[in-house]
Structure 1
Amino acid sequence: MDRRMFLKATAGLGAGATLGTGLAACGSDSGGSGSLTMSQYGSSSRLDLLEQVFGLYTEANPDRSIGLDAASVDNYIDRLATQVSGGNAPDIMAIFHGNIATFARQDALLTLDDYLGAGLDVSEFTEGIVDLGRIDGSVNALSYGDNAHGVIYDVDRLESLGMQLPEPGYTWEDLLTFSADISRAVDGDFYGTEDRSTQLDQGFKVWLLQRGKYAFTADGQLGFERSDLEDWITYWEMLREEGAAPPSDITAEAGTFESSALIRGYAINHQTYANALNSMQALTESRLALTTLPIDPDGQGSGHFLRGSNWVSVFSETGDPDTAVDFLNFIFNDPGAVGVLGAEFGAPPNRALRDELEYNDAEQNFVDYINLIADELADEAISLDQEFPIGYPDVNTAFGAATESVMFGDSSIDEAVDEFFETAERALES
């Protein structure tokens, strides 16, 4: 593998999370000894939970052990790419969803198809979720947490204004009116919605799917037209002009959960992945709750789809693939392991075990929301290789630049859309 080209392909695809501590080295040379390593990023509490699961696995299999190979989010993918290119990557690898297709195309991930139903039980998974990790026809990754897009609202603030959490099925027009009413009801710099117009992977994908479109086609080209992006930018311009969404300077300061407009007290909601609810609840004393993004009543579906929250793969050069896969089966299906992890990595994929667990209020709200999406609202999802084609990082950057240029008043909508399509189409052709 050409590490330099690999890092270029994966640039900009990291997922936000807190830091882990660098620990053990890689275990791909285990040679069937039953002593393997698993890489992971995330908070110290997340890593502690994972090590508890390692201990449970060794208790059940005294001749086997799993060691942790942790790294900070900021350098996780660069570090993993270096390990893969050197042939000494961890046996089991947590991977951000946007990087899986790139690793798979480099033959770095073990094909799991032969294990499905034969050592790797996915019978209790929501239908279709396994196929999301199918790259070029083969399952190369599985998610150990189900997730979906959503909107987190401060329900205490809503109730103080005599309002309630929008019910699933509210429309984009409803959001405009609802948000403007909130902004007018509160003196000062407070808004009825944050501005997420710059996020390709958030509301825009839901917006497109309601129009029967995905961001990218199966052959790696843009899956939408100029009018789709024009309408999206125009909608958010209306929200800003009505005072329903914050001005650009407030939005520009938002990045992490801590700096979001919701937590900083500038907006009443935050559009994000639904599994963020528990982490964001820990940052405020106000009660938070989930609902869907707006839904177009004349659209071709809800626009919401089930996706993986955290993904895991097996290194193709591991010396002990059977043990690596056996551990995956354990983490998905052992009641003790699932009980330890709870909703830390998303809604547990084993639906039967998911329903048996006890959660805190925020986790229960999240799990209920994922069940609602999966069972009642989910549109068909696409595999990771279609969702994140070669050239995606540059397209994502171009999307943010175009929408920001309108938000800051530096470009007209037509100019911004022209610049995006020129840059994106060039990136997807290279």
Structure 2
Amino acid sequence: MIVDRRGLLRSGAAFSALALTGLPRGAFAAGTDMRCVWWGSAERNQRTQAVIDLYVKQNSGLAITGEPIAGSDYWVKLATAMAGRNIADIFQLEPSTISDYSGRGACMKLDPFVGSALDVSNFAEGTVKLTTIDGTLYGVGLGLNSFAMLYDADAMAAAKVEIPRDRQMTWTEFAALAKAFKANGPKKRNYWAAPYGARYFYLFDVWLRQKNKELFKDGGIGYDASDAEEWFAYWEDLRQNDLCVSADIQTRDDNSIETNSLTLGNSAIGFAYSNQLIGYQKLVPGTLDLTAFPKMESGPSGHYYRPGLIWSIGATSQNGEAAARFISYFVNDIEAGKILGVERGVPLSLPVREAILPGLNETEKKTIAYIDFLADKVVAYPPPAPIGANEFDRNVMRVVADQLAFGQIDVKTAAQNLVDRGKEVLSARK
């Protein structure tokens, strides 16, 4: 399924006819008490809590407890909640986990609420399908994003290293950039141009799509040992030549903004998601910019538009309708949209997108410009990631890459392990 690429991102006359008003206020039964959990940076926590507070203030009889959870602890606590049948009323997922958790019975079906408690009528064409699994709606996208290479523009300028702004750089150019940065960049201890990208499953995903392959296919893996060997060999060449972050530093990254080597001051580049530029810029002293991941000498970009993050309703919630009403407010209300900005991605609601654009700051505008830059480059949105995709990321991709970086295994063994363990994890979940 390919989302309407160009019309999806541009505001204009087509949107002006849509009413730019918030949703009706209401009263809840006395004692309606819900929990809302998510992960993210301090910036996300503040914005999310502000919207919760605004909504509660406008709706008598309702209490919502916001529970931000740091980094990898989120998935541990979600697993515990599932085991105890005590999943939060509203909880956050992402494209690589919604299929997994809906398949394991964590998510309530949202179709019964659509058109009543849950309004998605103003979403850009095709975007509701991004959170639909096997014909059932299990979540609501909170913004549109894509993968992105974030970089410290000040550090690059100091090193006299230029990153193309009108095209994707190639993987060969990226390696040359890392070498030039080492020669000319700031002479700081434990500081490189690039992170050790071998352990990022989403970077591997884009790289495979540039080869017209897929990370996941038909519920299993979509790559073979030769693909994995080529991938690992590229990053090992950089690491062994001291052109990317060392193993001991890279393993600190638990896939959060605070632990990324860019934020920690160990690299001038970070591989992340476009909406995360806002959270990164809050923590990085230099001026950040963003561009696409590197690509092959020819062929597709490998990038695709995706729902950056997703609200789902816990399957065990006793407040399904109330939770749906809150989600509807979160994604449709203009004042909420102004608070949230584009920190979770470009709003899927066209009226909200139109309303917030004039008030965005320069960092936020960069994320909009980047999504627009990708408009004629993105490929089709892939099928939902299979059950086990989250475990593949945490217990296969990262583990194998770390073992390789620490010299515990060689490239050929790492490649075969990525195939064998990947198959094992995904087949166990079928």
Q: CA deviation at 1:332?
A: 0.8
- Distance between the aligned counterparts of 2:66 and 2:80, measured in 1? 14
2:379 is matched with 379
- Cα deviation, 1:37-94, whole Å, max 9, x if unaligned, reads 13223456644433432344355544x5241141533544444444455555433223
Q: Which AA in structure 2 matches 1:40? A: V
Q: Which moved more, 1:288-297 or 1:395-404?
A: 395-404
Match of 2:208 in 1: 208
Decide whether aligned partners of structure 1 residues 341 and 240 sit closer, same or farther in structure 2, where only a CA change above 3 A counts. Answer: same
Residue deviations 1:101-157, cap 9 Å, x none?
Answer: 343224342222344455533344344432232223311012213222111111111
Q: Which runs of 5+ in 1 are unaligned?
A: 1-30
Aligned residues: 394
SS at match of 1:270: strand
**Secondary structure in structure 2 of the residue aligned to 1:271:** strand
Equivalent of 1:72 in 49, 69, 73:
69
Shift of 1:354: 2.2
| Residue in 2 that maps onto 1:170 | 169
Structure 2 counterpart of 1:37, from 18, 23, 34:
34
Cα distance in 2 between the residues matched to 1:232 and 1:286: 30
Give the unaligned 5+ runs of structure 2: 1-27
Higher relative contact order (CA 8 A, sep 6+): 2
Distance 1:239 1:127 in 2: 42
How far is 1:314 from its partner?
1.9
Kept after mapping to 1: 8 A contact 2:196/2:235: yes
**Corresponding position: 1:332 with 2:331:** yes
RMSD, aligned CA: 3.0
Q: Distance in 2 between matches of 1:95 and 1:289?
A: 26
Deviation of the 1:402 alpha carbon: 2.8
What is aligned with 1:365? 366
Relative distance call for 1:406 and 1:37 in structure 2 (3 A) is same
**Which residue does the alignment assign to 1:15?**
none
Are the equivalent residues in 2 in contact too, given 1:34–1:65 (CA < 8 A)? yes
User: CA distance change for structure 1 residues 422 and 298 in 2, over 3 Å: closer, same or farther?
Assistant: same
Task: Report the equivalent of 1:95.
Answer: 93
CA drift of 1:266 comes to 3.7
How far apart, CA to CA, are the structure 2 residues paired with 1:263 and 1:224?
Answer: 31
Amino acid across the alignment from 1:362: T
2:274 maps to: 274
Q: Cα deviation per residue 1:398-420 (whole Å; 9 max; x = unaligned)?
A: 32233333333333222222222
Does structure 2 conserve the Cα–Cα contact (< 8 Å) formed by 1:153 and 1:165? no
> TM-score under structure 2 normalisation?
0.80
- Identify the residue that residue 28 of structure 1 maps to in structure 2: none
Structure 2 vs 1, CA of residues 353 and 182 (structure 1 numbering), >3 Å: closer, same or farther?
Answer: same
The change in CA–CA distance for 1:114 and 1:372 in structure 2 (over 3 A counts) is: farther
5 Å matches for 1:17-416? 35-42=32-39, 46-58=44-56, 60-62=58-60, 65-70=62-67, 72-73=69-70, 75-95=73-93, 97-117=95-115, 119-167=117-165, 168-186=167-185, 187=187, 189=189, 190-200=191-201, 202-218=202-218, 220-255=219-254, 257-299=257-299, 301-357=300-356, 358-373=359-374, 375-384=375-384, 387-390=385-388, 392-394=390-392, 396-416=394-414
1:246-275: CA deviations, max 9, x gaps?
443443455554454334444321111222
Contact 1:69 1:90 in 2 (8 A): no
CA distance in structure 1 between the aligned counterparts of 2:117 and 2:365, rounded to whole angstroms: 30
In 1: Cα distance, 2:267 partner to 2:291 partner: 16
Q: Secondary structure at the match of 2:36?
A: strand
Distance 1:108 1:99 in 2: 11
Closer/same/farther in 2, CA of residues 267 and 54 from structure 1, 3 Å limit: closer
Q: Structure 1 pair 110/229, CA: closer, same or farther in 2 (3 Å)?
A: same
Distance 2:329 2:139 in 1: 15
> Percent of pairs identical after alignment?
25
Query: CA, structure 1 residues 122+295, in 2 after alignment: closer, same or farther (shift >3 Å)?
Result: farther
The one-letter amino acid of 1:216's match is: F
Q: TM-score, normalised by structure 1?
A: 0.80
SS of aligned partner of 1:377: coil
Aligned with 2:371: secondary structure? helix
Report the alpha carbon displacement of residue 214 of structure 1 after superposing the two structures with TM.
1.9
Q: In structure 2, do the counterparts of structure 1 residues 402 and 121 end up closer, same or farther at CA, with 3 Å as the change threshold?
A: same
Quote the Cα distance in structure 2 between the aligned partners of 1:46 and 1:243. 34
Separation of aligned partners in 2, 1:266 and 1:109: 38
Q: 8 Å contact 2:106–2:315 — kept in the other structure?
A: yes
- Does the CA contact (< 8 Å) of 2:279 and 2:343 recur in 1? no
CA distance in 2, matches of 1:81, 1:188: 41
**1:298 partner letter:** S
1:309/1:416 Cα in 2 relative to 1: closer, same or farther (>3 Å)? same
CA contact (8 A) 1:35 1:65 kept: yes
8 Å CA contact 2:150, 2:269 repeated in 1: yes
TM-aligned CA deviation for residue 221 of structure 1: 0.9
